[in-house]
Structure 1
Amino acid sequence: MRKVTAGLFHSVDGVVSEPNLWQFDSFDQEMGQGMTAFMERSDTVLLGRVSYHEWAGYWPNAAQDDDFAGFINPVEKFVASRTLTGPLEWQNSHLMDGSLEDFVAGLKERDGGEIAVCGSISLVRQLLFAGLLDSLTLMTHPVVAGRGRRLFESDDPITRLSLQDQYRTSKGNVISTYGLLAE
């Protein structure tokens, strides 16, 4: 069965949105190596509507020698949206059919590499609480972002996690990977 993974840049105060505003000075070689390994394991990407619009407006025109552009443009992408209609213009992008949970459960049954949730804070939350997210990597930068969207909300259910891996990079980032605690 394929794994569904997610990785988010994360500030010490829990902000996960707009990391371009606060993580640029602490992105280091070890983080880059982790991102490369993530891309090599993934052959399918899940995006929400907002991330799709933001990324589809940027990445197709990004320099092709950029490592992430070389990954995200050709990879198969599935977009969760209640308002978009197809076909989608960005290369290899398709709308999900049916509910998010049913679609992802079916996708996990297909052959292939890892299924990566990129950006898409709402999708990460939904898949985690539905029990469909196999691992969540938080790349915590040594910065207080102050404002921005956080991954978890005050009314989220208590959800036990298991630490699968953790390491510190040379610029003080702490990379922690969690999975749902098996009951």
Structure 2
Amino acid sequence: MGIVGDGLERAVQQAFTRPIPKSAGAQMRYLVKQLKGTRAVADALGVSQRTVERYVKDQIRRPRPDLAQRLQDAVRTRWQPRIREQARRQAATSTGLVIDTRARFGFTAAPGTTDDARLRHLTLALPPAYAARLFDAQQAGATDDQLRDITAEALGEIYFRDGGRRAQALMVEFTDVEQLDFEL
């Protein structure tokens, strides 16, 4: 995933009601239960089936750093799917998203204007319609560029065009993203 997709995932993970399992053995047992077998877990993590079995039996307790990260990421992506879906649905129907970004914004405007691209730090509430578009595009497997275009359109409409009250023909370009965070 890219910066926008990762930001959306972090926002949804803030809705978790319980922390993910801490130990490598507990994480492996959770994955074995979710993927219904040690072979599927071994294939997903890039290790042998016997290694997975050793973690499940707590014969190995401390994974290598790269395996520990892959294991934690695999658990986090599957953790509390109902809570995750509920948070997405609530943001898409009623609450929307809050975006906090520091990026370069440029505009397609009439020649000779002062709309050169410059860094801005914006914190805005996006309405539920844009949250729904972002989550739907993410679920459909959109690229980060497509998610960035939807985000640029939302920021352009809410901040720069002020809901249609000014600069109606302004097209916003969202580039050089230094920081991007979403909150539900």
Could you say whether these structures have the same fold, taking a TM-score greater than 0.5 normalized by the shorter chain as the test?
no
Q: Specify which structure has the higher proportion of strand.
A: 1
Q: Which has the larger radius of gyration?
A: 2
TM range (shorter): under 0.3
Give TM-score, length-normalised by structure 1: 0.25
Give TM-score, length-normalised by structure 2: 0.25
